Structure 1
Amino acid sequence: MHDSPPVSKVYYRPIEAAIRWAGLLKHKKNILRLISSPRLLPTTLDFPGWTELRLCTERIYDAIFNGELPYGCNGITQNDKALWDSPDLTIRHVDLKRWMRDQYPEQRPAFLFSRRERIAHPIITLETGQAMLVERQALKAELEHYRRQLQTLQDQHHVLSKQIEATPACNQCSITDRAESTYHHIIGGMLDLMLGQSPAGTPYSSFRTQEAIVSALVAHHAGVMGITERTLNGKFALARRTLRNSAS
């Protein structure tokens, strides 16, 4: 049983780096057996990932020819064009990593970058970026819709509060059982409506729970008599129970 080639090395021949970049390291022996020149690969070859391998190889040699990527012989950096066609032409790991970070920042092959580096700089393709932008716009529109709903509810509550303040107090008069049941039915019905959905599944309001309604009321009307979590939860629970009993 032969040992697998190391993923990372101190230096690489260009074809070795291209094979790793294309994610074909496990096919290295077959690839080297199929090619006659590590620099001039066949245009087509019936091998998985061949197009990607050719592109990676051409990019590396292009960087060498244009002075973007230092090269040398057997790991020793030299600037000798005679090495371009030599089987001993090599590029150092640190130089290849620096070049890829500058020229292909969206690329993070595992043989050059650690897992921590790949997580810190995730690859975001153009398609992914566009999808994220569309989702962001949709979330902004939804947020604005809920803000308008909340403003409408707050305006309605303000009008009702003014009406209640304008109603003369009658401390001597006790509310009848019929009137109390009526109020409970109205409150219970409003709660069910605010927490309910349309037949199409669209929420009637932005509130999802009774606790959310109570928190909003307390936040906007703290200090008003009766507007406390304990009182509201008690009254709301009684109202919804009364409404259910009446409908049964």
Structure 2
Amino acid sequence: MNQPTHLNATKVFYRPVDVAIRWSGLLEYEAEILEHMSQGADLAADTPCNWSILNLNLERLLDAMRHGELSYGKAGITRNDPALLTSPELTIRHVDVKRWMSSAYPAQKPAFLFDEAERLSPKVITQATAQALLEQIHSLTAQSVSPQRSSQQESQLRLNSRAETTYLNIIGALLTLLLGHSPGGVRYSSFNTLESVISALIAHHSGRPGITERTLWAKFAEAKRHLSAYS
């Protein structure tokens, strides 16, 4: 009688194929997949389901190990021995797989690595999303510090107190998100400090109104104070 899959999904350490099977959501086919592999059969063809994703995920794991992004070893003991990469005794620890996947594939939360609370937590911000947030911060900041407008333009574009508070709260919330992390400890973005956010803004938007180190520090500090006042 087959053992229920949820009882043997999580282990202290795995072979790369074990991780790929679980990552691909194919644990129910594990025995059949391993039999195919032992016979040298093509997993992407003549199988009861599409196992091509298994090959892709397996290659992703091996690529990460080859490039030093994912620790590996033998019998669950970490060893930095490249000869193991072609050995059937190659293993990867559970904690190392989870750490690597959180960084390399933050949007993916396979159940054998992440508990229910972690899978339900907000998705990590991708680099593209982070850039969009930076654009939004730039736009909001520029509206409050645009130089050399005529008196009529200043009158039309000057932020009233309520609108300015709204903008500052939005900026503060975006900063909190950029520098925060999920309940499971996974960072929402690659930015670790406020200084790194400011550096990125200046690098991408230098010369635009409001995008100076002094102004950004002042505005961000003001935004954080406004947001804290409503906490």
Tell me the TM-score normalised to structure 2 length: 0.49
Q: Which has the higher contact order (CA 8 A, sep 6+)?
A: 2
TM-score of the pair, normalised by structure 1: 0.46
Q: Which has the larger radius of gyration?
A: 1
